Structure 1
Amino acid sequence: MRMMMVGAALVMMTSAAMVSAALADDDDATGSQKLAQQGRDDYWHCLAREYSRGSNQGMSEQDFARSVAGACPSERQYYRVALLDYLTTQYPAIDAGAHLATANRAVESAQKDIVTAFVKHRPPQK
C-alpha cells in the first residue's frame, strides 16, 4: 500500500509539472491561475484516493480506467472549468474551443497517469 501511495505521489508530481507549464505566469499569480492550480490539486488528490482504495486490488487495467474515468466528477469539472477560465483570461485571442480541448487533454492526462501508475505498481497477476 505504501508503494502505491509513493507511486501516486510521483505521478501527481509529474503531471503537476506538466500542467504547471501551462499555468505559469511571470511573477504575479492571477486569481484564475490560483483557481486552476487549486482545481488541479483537488482533482489529483481525489484521483490519488481512488488509486489507493483497497477494492482496486485485482482489477484489470480496463476496469480501473473505467473506474477512474467516472471518479471525482465534481473535482474533474471544477478543474476543467477553472483551467478553461484561466486559459481564456490569459489568451483571449485564441478560440474558446481550443481552450476547451486543452482543458479536456489536461483531465485526460491526469486519468492516464493514474492508470499508468496503477498498472506499474500492482502486484503480478496469478
Structure 2
Amino acid sequence: MRALLAAVLSVMSFAAIADEIDDAHKLAVTGRDAYWNCLAREYPRDSNKSMTDQEFTALIATVCPSERQNFRVSLIDFLSLQFPKDDADKHLTTANRAIELAQKDIVTAFVRRKAAAR
C-alpha cells in the first residue's frame, strides 16, 4: 500500500512539475513576443530613417526596457525549471544572448532596408 501511495504521489508531483514548466514556457514565449513586438514598433519610425546604423543599434539597445526585462526574467524562470541542475549564470547568459539576437535581427533588417533604399 505504501509503495502504491508513493507511486501515486510521485506521478502527481511529476504532473505538477510538468504543468509548472509548461506555464513557465508560455510566459517566456509571451515575454519574447512582447519584446519582439516592441522592437518591431521602433523599426519603421520616420525619425529612424536618417539614423546611421550605429545610432539605430544604440537606440535598439535602450528601447523597450520593461519588455526586455520581463522577457529576461520569464526566460530565466523557464530555464531554471527546465534545467534545474544548470548554474543560474548559465540561464542568465542564455537569456541575455536571446535578447542580443532579437536586437541583432532588428538592426540587420534596418541595415538591409537602408541599403535597398539607396
- TM-score (norm. length: structure 2): 0.80
Question: Where does residue 86 of structure 1 map in the other structure?
Answer: 78
Cα offsets for 1:31-81 (capped at 9, x unmatched): 100000000000000000010111101110000000000000000000000
Distance 2:59 2:94 in 1: 23
**Residue 58, structure 1, aligned to residue 50, structure 2:** yes
Task: Tell me which residue corresponds to 1:70.
Answer: 62
Q: Which has the larger radius of gyration?
A: 2
Number of aligned pairs? 97
- Greater helix proportion: 2
Question: Any runs of at least 4 consecutive aligned residues in structure 1 with deviations exceeding 4 A, and if so which?
Answer: none
2:29 paired residue number = 37
Q: Alignment identity in percent? A: 57
Structure showing greater relative contact order (alpha-carbon pairs closer than 8 Å, 6 or more residues apart)? 1
Aligned pairs for 1:1-126 within 5 A? 30-122=22-114, 123-124=117-118
Query: Could you state the TM-score of these two structures normalised by the residue count of structure 1?
Result: 0.75
Uncovered stretches (5+) of structure 2, i.e. residues with no partner: 1-18
Let me know the Cα RMSD of the aligned residues. Answer: 1.1
